[in-house]
Structure formats: structure tokens, C-alpha cells
Amino acid sequence: MKKLITGLTLAATMAAGAAFAADYPEKAVTLVIPYGPGGASDLAGRALSESAKPYLGQPVTVVNKPGAGGMNGARFVTESDADGYTLLLARVGMALTPAVNPQASVDWDAYTFVGALEATPMILAVKGDAPYNSVEDLTNAVSEAGGRMAYAASGATSIDGFTVQTLLSDAGMDPLTAATLVPYKGGGALATALLGGHVDFLAISAGSLMPHIESGDMKALMVFAPSRMDNLPDVPTASELGYEQAGQVTGWSALYAPKDLATDVVAKWQGVLDQVATDETWLTLAERRGSISTVGSIDMPAYAKAQYELFNGLAKKFGYIPE
């Protein structure tokens, strides 16, 4: 009798779960942005919220939970119920932070990987009146300067630190000594440092640099992205120029959920994303913020793993963590 009751209970639970998934969503979905308002992740999250609503049938409410390099928001989502009502606007930091910090509070694979959203290019830039008109011009100058040239980044093991360090490494230089890293907080401060002549170059998010490039105050030498940017069609990618490590570094956004999200809920969101992929609002907003939509074009679990392995390998190679 006990076995019969247990079997009936299990069957009832499975049936209830199936019914739940079939009715999903019955209320608004919360999309957690693990960084503050106004940045690349916030813009991507709000664009997804606006674009997904017609296809999801319920509002997507954006909530910012910044802190600890994105780990506060990531941890909040991984500790939430896997019911599809709390999702994460994931960024490259969800793979990078645990890759370079073994004590990170959330592992790279502590999620259900729902789908890719966009690549957010990084741009290698110098001042508009700088004497460098190509990446080769710049790397030759860096090599000849013997560590006297400086670049701005938000940290040595941040995405905009790795952009420069991989380039220097690919160019045959010591990524930690060939140029001097000067830390600044936030894309605006980084751009201001270059404009003010406090540093010689940088490679940060396109969104922070495009207005200055369009005005002529900065020159774009290369983009860290899977393809050229529509609004910079003459600027080559790192891969095109043969920079192997730098060619693997770019910013990105994806949609994550707590581990073990019901397959029907995942399928619902993947159907929504299929429609978002060709949605005029989504594509217009992506172009406006200098992003490249990757919805439906990337195997997100495999890509997240590859990104973790990339940055973990770079952190070991560059000496930030033990081999």
C-alpha cells in the first residue's frame, strides 16, 4: 500500500508539473540585471523586456541587483525557485568571474542556459589625433616604448583588461609588462581617461566609445566581435587580423534561469526568442547600442563552457591563478 501511495503521489506531482508548465506564464516574469542601471547589461535587459512581452503574453519586469562583479544578481537567481518567474540577464562576467576567481560565489554552470541574446563588441581605440592608424602601428609603438605606454581598464582580470592583454600576448609581448594598466571605474570614466590624454589606448565596450568615434575625438582600430560592426564597416575584427586569443574575447548577453528549469518552460522561452530574433524593436535597439544579435545562432551551454575555459586558461597563462 505504501508503494502504491508513493507511486500515486509521484504521478500526481509529475502531472501537476506538466500542467504548470503548460499554463506558463500566468503572471509577470522578473528579469534580474546583475549590474547597475544604464550599462550594457541594463540596456540589453530592457530591450529584451520590451521585445519579448508580445510573444510571452505577460510583462517582463526588470530588476537591477548589482554588486560583486555581477555575482550578487547571479546568486539571487540561482537561489530562486526554478519556476520560470525569475530569470537572469547573463553577461560575460558569469563565465569570466568564476574562471579567474576560484572563490566566486556562483559557478559558471550553476544555471539553465536558455539562450544567447547578443554579442556586445569591444573596440580598440586611440585618440583622434594619435599617430596610430592601424593595430600594427599601435603594437609597434607599445613594443618600442618598453612599458611606458598606458591603457585604461576596469581591472586586470576584467573583460576590458583581457582585451588588451590578449592583444599584447598575440603580438608577442608580455601582457602584464608591455603596457601599464591604469584602472578606472565605469565606461564613462575609461573613455574620459583616453580623451584627456591620461592613457594612450583602451579596448572597452562599443557603447561607451561610439559617440566619441563618430565625433572624430577617437579612432577605432579594431573590434573584438564575431563580425564587423554595421556602423564601423571598415574596422576589422581581431580574428580577421589573425589575433587568435583576442579573437575569442568579446562582450555578450544571454538569458539564464535557475538550474533544472522545466523543459516546457525552456521551450516556451526558446519559442519567444525565435520570434524576438526577427523582431524589429529588438533589432533596432541592438543596432542603437552597437550590439550584434546572436539569438538562435549560438549553442549557449557549449559557448558558456568555452568562455569559462578561455578565461580560466588566460588567467593561468598570465599568472593570475596557479596552473
- How many CB atoms are located within 10 Å of the residue 160 CB? 25
pLDDT tens digits for 127-150? Answer: 999 999 999 999 999 999 999 999
Q: Which long-range contacts (CB under 8 A, 24 or more apart) does 284-288 make?
A: 285/43, 285/47, 285/50, 285/51, 286/47, 286/118, 287/230, 287/231
Q: What is the pLDDT of residue 21?
A: 57
Least confident stretch, 161-165, 198-202, 207-211: 207-211
Q: What is the pLDDT of residue 220?
A: 98
C-alpha cell of 177? 609588462
The average confidence (pLDDT) of the chain is 91
Average pLDDT over residues 272-298: 92
DSSP alpha helix (H) spans, the chain: 2-23, 40-56, 71-78, 93-100, 135-145, 159-170, 187-195, 206-215, 263-276, 280-288, 300-317
- Give Cα separations from 256 to 76, 78, 82 (angstroms): 12, 9, 11
Round to whole Å and give the CA distance between 55 and 45. Answer: 16
pLDDT at 11 over 60: no
- Classified as helix, coil or strand, 198 is coil
pLDDT at 18 over 70: no
Write out the DSSP string of 227-242.
S--TT-TTSPBTTTTT
pLDDT tens digits for 205-238? Answer: 888 898 999 999 999 999 999 889 988 999 999 9
Please give the model's pTM, rounded to 2 decimal places.
0.86
- Percentage, residues of the chain above pLDDT 70: 93
Q: What is the pLDDT of residue 68?
A: 85
pLDDT tens digits for 269-283? Answer: 999 999 999 999 999
Q: Which residues contact 84 (CB under 8 A, 6 or more apart)?
A: 24, 25, 29, 257, 261, 262, 265, 268, 269
pLDDT tens digits for 36-84? Answer: 887 788 889 999 999 999 999 999 999 999 988 889 999 999 999 999 9
Instruction: List beta partners, residue 91.
Output: 253
Q: Which residues contact 167 (CB under 8 A, 6 or more apart)?
A: 124, 135, 139, 203, 222, 238, 243, 246
Round to whole Å and give the CA distance between 162 and 281. Answer: 32
3-state helix, strand, coil in the chain (%, to 5): 45, 20, 35
Position with higher pLDDT, 212 vs 1:
212
- Classified as helix, coil or strand, 100 is helix
Q: What is the pLDDT of residue 13?
A: 43
pLDDT at 4 over 70: no
